[in-house]
Amino acid sequence: MPEMQTYRGGCHCGRVRYQVAATLDPVLSCNCSICQKRGYLLTFVPRAQFKLLSGEDALTDYQFNKKVVHHLFCANCGISSFGTGTGPDQSEMVSINVRCLDDVDLDALTVTSFDGKSL
Ligand SMILES: [Zn+2]
């Protein structure tokens, strides 16, 4: 098992900042309608492992389809650095856009394709 590490991340302009404990192996590349357009690389963590440090007032919510996931983005710079939703067992989960984490070598990650389009 890869070790869990604490990362910091956020949007482009810096208003939205967060801290998250996560393992980045693997990360998911999803082909659903929004992931494909936004180019996310995703990992998912329980809500308790995520802490929003700043930018709550800048977060704008976008929802579509079944409206179970909050596709949050910064109202100032438009970057979607994380989202929130519930897992299959109704627990609160946070989706992290790994591209928005500080100091992560994206080329070193194992990316797994996820067929979100078929869900
Ligand atoms: Zn921003």
CA distance linking residue 115 with residue 5, whole number of Å: 27
CA 110–ligand 1 middle distance (angstroms): 27
Is residue 19 within 8 A of residue 5, CB to CB? The reply is: no
Distance between Cα 50 and ligand 1 center (Å)? 18
90: DSSP letter: S
The pLDDT assigned to 68 comes to 82
pLDDT in tens, 50-109: 999 999 999 999 998 888 889 999 999 999 999 999 988 899 999 999 999 999 999 999
pTM over 0.85: yes
Residue 43 or 32, more confident: 43
CA of 89 to the centre of ligand 1 (A): 32
Task: Compute, in angstroms, the gap from residue 118 CA to the centroid of ligand 1.
Answer: 31
Q: What is the pLDDT of residue 9?
A: 98
Residue 12 confidence (pLDDT): 98
Task: Give the phi and the psi of residue 42 in degrees, each rounded to 5.
Answer: -115, 145
- Res 2: pLDDT: 66
